Structure 1
Amino acid sequence: MQKAKTLEPRNPNKSTGIFNGQSSGILNWNDIAYPHWHKMYKRLLGNYWQADEINMSNDIKQFASLSQSEQDAYLKIIGLLATLDAPQTRTALLLSLYATDPSVQSIMAVIAQQEAVHNESYSYVLSSIVSLDQQNKAFEFGRTDEILLKRNKNIAKYYNDFVENPTTENILKTLTYTTLLEGLFFYSGFAYFYNLARYNKMVGTSTMISYINRDELEHGRFISELFRATLSENPELNNEELIEWVYEQFKESVELEIEWSEYVLADIEGIELEEMHGYIKYRANKMLRLIGLEEIYPEYVENPMKWIRAYADNIDGTKTDFFEQKSRQYVKVNAIDNGFDDL
């Protein structure tokens, strides 16, 4: 597969294909192959935010009062989220290099920017509450913790396979793992911070997670549509072998996510592990539906963690839901002091 040309006036403005198509490189949003993607682009732009707008002053005071298990989980989960978000900026940009539809290039550019903001936000919250040594240790988890390395092994494999061998099939596999990442892998971590917020703990961090969650819901929606559209444009790849591969990745990912949740959430008050396992399976079902496949856990078609609805899991309502939480106040602060003046 060749990278898309930046400008080729002999080709039509309206792309003839998402990948391996022809396009001049000129983007007219009023004449694109998938018109509703303009609305997705606008929704993504509407999610603009910056990490240092979130007031961390109460979190600074509260972190030391968390139990040792809560502090350990906090740092490990921030390390996990950073490990997941860090490659997303580059992956979105790499996909855009091969996209011959300029609307996809533009949407991926916005997604890449938002993923960069997510990664910076983890540095921001850690710089607010722990020493530089502890910050660095948290960011080391992604490449030193055995459970985390095992959990992320397949992400690294299929993302790197696409880099080394850019084919349409490898793009579909990368999109599969991006769907898993955006729609499943984050959620045990998100649940931890939302559970703290239920007890009015670390609300600043939880508010930031709500912003990230809102973005990831939109990313997951677009990536799943991109998967389906790419598969539709390449019917020779819409075969039993690939579909079975997708199901196997979902099953293995669920097992690894359950193992991770047991490792990091075992001693956290307020989170029932069996309920968490059900929630992970529910999320897998949801993402399978989004990419046009059947559910694999029929007993988990409904969300078993009812309390989390106020914080997450509503693609269309998250933006308003989290603003309505009385325990989480969105207060912009000075970028220099992280809210220290409020101490």
Structure 2
Amino acid sequence: MTTILTKAKVLEPMEPNRATKLFGGEASGILNWNDIKYPHFYEIREEIRAQFWIAAEVDMTPDVKQFATLTAAEQDAYLKIIGLLATLDAPQTDLAAKLADFTTDPSVKSIMATVADQESEHNHSYAYVLSSVTDLNGQIEAFEMGRRDPVLLKRNERIVEIYNEFAETPTIETALKAMVYTSLLEGMYFYSAFAYFYNLARHNKMVATSTMISFINRDELQHARFISELFRATLAENPEYNNEQFIEWVYEQYRHNVEMEKEWATYVLSDVEGIEMDDMIGYIKYRANKMLRMMGLSEIYEDYYDNPMKWIRAYVDNFDGVKTDFFEQKSRQYTKTSDLNGFDDL
């Protein structure tokens, strides 16, 4: 029988400070960063915290003037993609809070608090960007896309289902599934959108927007790293889910969502100059392989092990990846593949 998780109590002084499990364990609620079950979570916490920024730091003045000079196709893609990002980033704040509610590890609660705050700022940044380039009606229309655009609604069907399932029936299984979809969001869903703005920037268009996107992208890389580590650790603690049926479910979600991402990218980017759709589709498959690898699983797309859109590396710095052994949970460093410190050098 599946056990429903209960919200962790705020304080349980008779229980140990170091959590016994990530979910369904015992912990006092007192956080000592020098005595946590997964010490490398502290490194991730510090890297996430080091990236503090706010939307108002980006001067949007140049883009205010330049937006009117974009082609109709570029303007349409710009507004649709901001609408997409707002649709997907908004629930990330709530999901991080919900995961924090049910984890019994106070270090995870702390990291999720920072992630939730950053996701909130991402959502604010989309409103900030839109207010710079369009009137209030245009802003409202962009934010309505997630509820009205049929392609976007189709694309987001499963994430709505999985996130709401965890909210309504919190179990180890639904938490793991929510983490899988968070990895899809943070590590793959956003990337055709990011590529669009970086493509504009490399043609000296809307550079301020690209700067904002690079800040968001940098955060998402770290969030994707943490959620993959949390997934691996949770699966290792609950080996009954480390079985062929569940892992095949994960692969099927990735296959399905790659197809959804391809459909979305074709819908929104096919008329945009400078992005070859074959490269974009290859990039989506490359990102899927990369996220699966981070989660301790095997790649599913042969011949998509390298980034086919290497020019993107100029727009966002990479982070130092830490790989955790899937079963023993021992931390070890990835070997960097080059000295570029580029976007795809994990």
> Under a length normalisation based on structure 1, what TM-score does the superposition of the two structures give?
0.92
| Greater helix share, structure number | 1
Whether 2:166 is the aligned partner of 1:198: answer no
8 Å contact from structure 1 (residues 183, 220) kept in 2 = yes
Residue matched to 1:170 = 174
- What corresponds to 1:27 in structure 2? 31
- The size of the alignment, in residue pairs, is 320
Match for residue 90 of structure 2?
Answer: 86
- SS of residue paired to 1:300: coil
Q: Which residue in the other structure is 1:325 paired with?
A: none
Deviations 1:281-327 (A, max 9, x none): 0000000000000000011001111111112473349xx979xxxxx
User: Residues 164, 24 of structure 1: CA spacing in aligned structure 2 closer, same or farther, 3 A cutoff?
Assistant: same
Structure 1 distance, partners of 2:49, 2:64, is 30
- Alignment check: 8 A CA contact 1:311 1:321 kept: no
Report the residue type matching 2:129 in the other structure. V
Partner of 2:273: 269
Q: Does 1:297 align with 2:301?
A: yes
Cα separation, 2, equivalents of 1:237 and 1:139 = 37
Using the size of structure 2 for normalisation, the TM-score is 0.91
Counterparts of 1:2 and 1:238, CA distance in 2: 22
Does the CA contact (< 8 Å) of 1:79 and 1:141 recur in 2? yes
Instruction: Specify the alignment match of 1:126 in structure 2.
Output: 130
Residues 125-147 of structure 1: CA deviation (Å, up to 9, x unaligned): 10011000000000011110000
SS of residue paired to 2:156: helix
CA distance in 1, matches of 2:319, 2:221: 6
The answer for the alignment partner of 1:66 in structure 2 is 70
Compared with structure 1, are the counterparts of its residues 313 and 155 closer, same or farther at alpha carbon in structure 2 (3 Å cutoff)? farther
Partner of 2:149: 145
What corresponds to 1:253 in structure 2? 257
Q: Which amino acid aligns with 2:194?
A: F
The DSSP-based 3-state class of the residue aligned with 1:207 is helix
Q: Residue 38 in 1 paired to residue 42 in 2?
A: yes
Give the partner amino acid of 1:97: D
Alignment partners' CA distance in 1, 2:188 and 2:319: 14
Residue 221 of structure 1 and its aligned partner are, at CA, apart by 0.1
Q: Distance in 1 between matches of 2:302 and 2:171?
A: 34
Query: Of the two structures, which has the highest relative contact order with CA contacts closer than 8 Å and spacing of 6 or more?
Result: 1
Task: String of CA shifts for 1:144-202, please: whole Å, max 9, x gaps.
Answer: 00000000111100000001100000000000000000000000000000000000100
- Given candidates 96, 99, 106, the residue that maps to 1:95 is 99
> What does 1:176-325 align with in structure 2 at a 5 Å threshold?
176-312=180-316, 314-316=318-320
Letter in 1 for 2:69: S
Gaps of 5+ in 1: 323-343
- State the distance in 1 between where 2:318 and 2:11 align: 39
Relative distance call for 1:161 and 1:48 in structure 2 (3 A) is: same
CA contact (8 A) 2:183 2:291 kept: yes
In the alignment, the residues of structure 2 paired with residue 281 and residue 52 of structure 1 have an alpha-carbon distance, to the nearest angstrom, of 34
**Cα distance in structure 1, aligned partners of 2:213 and 2:134:** 18
Once the two structures are TM-superposed, the CA of residue 249 in structure 1 deviates from its matched residue by 0.1
Secondary structure of the residue aligned to 2:170 is coil
- The AA in structure 2 aligned to 1:86 is A
RMSD: 1.2
Distance 1:223 1:198 in 2: 31
Please give the secondary structure, in 1, of the residue aligned with 2:9: coil
Distance 1:175 1:143 in 2: 23
Matched position secondary structure for 2:35:
coil
For 2:271 and 2:37, the matched residues in 1 are separated by 50
What corresponds to 1:8 in structure 2? 12
